[in-house]
Each structure stands twice: as structure tokens, then as C-alpha cells.
């Protein structure tokens, strides 16, 4: 009626089922709800309705000064000789 391969396959299936059940466990109804990363962020953010956040240590009226362009020969002084292939590669 049953050959040996069917019995071995059935025993293996039962063994795998029991191992998975012991590892995964059963639901009891007292599990914690799954972590929702967006709920904590919304609770903190809900207090204000602004789009701009002021960073600490930065004055609001300080503006950046524009950078003056330098000559290509002066830009790489001490690193590459002016007119060399290295200076041309650094400028590109």
C-alpha cells in the first residue's frame, strides 16, 4: 500500500512542520502590535505647522559671501604646475 519513499517523505514533512511550529510559535492574542515608524514621527511633528526649522548655532542674518574666481594657475599652486596636464585635469 505505502512504499518506503512515501513514508520517508511523510515523516520528513511532519518533522519540518513540528520544527517550524516550535520556532514560530502560536498567536496568543497578547503580542505587541507591529512597530509603526511613522506614528512616532507624526506625534512629534504634529505640534508645529512650520516648514522651516532653525538650526542651533547659526545666526539668521549671516549671509554667505560670494567666492571670487581665481586664476587657473593660482588655484593649484603648490599641488600642480600651471599649464601641466595635471592642472588641466584638475580644472576640468
Please name the residue ranges forming H helices in the chain: 4-24, 37-45, 72-75, 85-91
In this prediction the pTM is 0.32
Higher-confidence position of 59 and 38: 38
Ordered by start, the domain boundaries in the chain are 1-28
The tens digit of pLDDT for each residue in 42-90 reads: 655 555 566 777 778 766 566 677 878 777 677 888 888 888 888 888 8
d(CA 76, CA 70): 10
What per-residue confidence (pLDDT) applies to 27? 77
What per-residue confidence (pLDDT) applies to 3? 92
Amino acid at each position: 500500500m505505502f512504499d518506503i519513499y512515501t513514508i520517508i517523505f511523510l515523516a520528513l514533512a511532519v518533522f519540518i512542520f513540528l520544527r517550524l511550529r516550535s520556532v514560530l510559535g502560536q498567536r496568543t492574542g497578547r503580542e505587541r502590535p507591529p512597530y509603526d515608524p511613522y506614528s512616532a514621527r507624526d506625534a512629534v511633528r504634529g505640534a508645529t505647522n512650520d516648514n522651516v526649522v532653525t538650526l542651533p548655532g547659526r545666526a539668521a542674518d549671516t549671509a554667505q559671501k560670494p567666492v571670487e574666481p581665481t586664476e587657473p594657475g593660482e588655484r593649484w599652486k603648490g599641488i600642480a604646475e600651471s599649464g601641466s596636464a595635471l592642472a588641466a585635469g584638475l580644472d576640468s
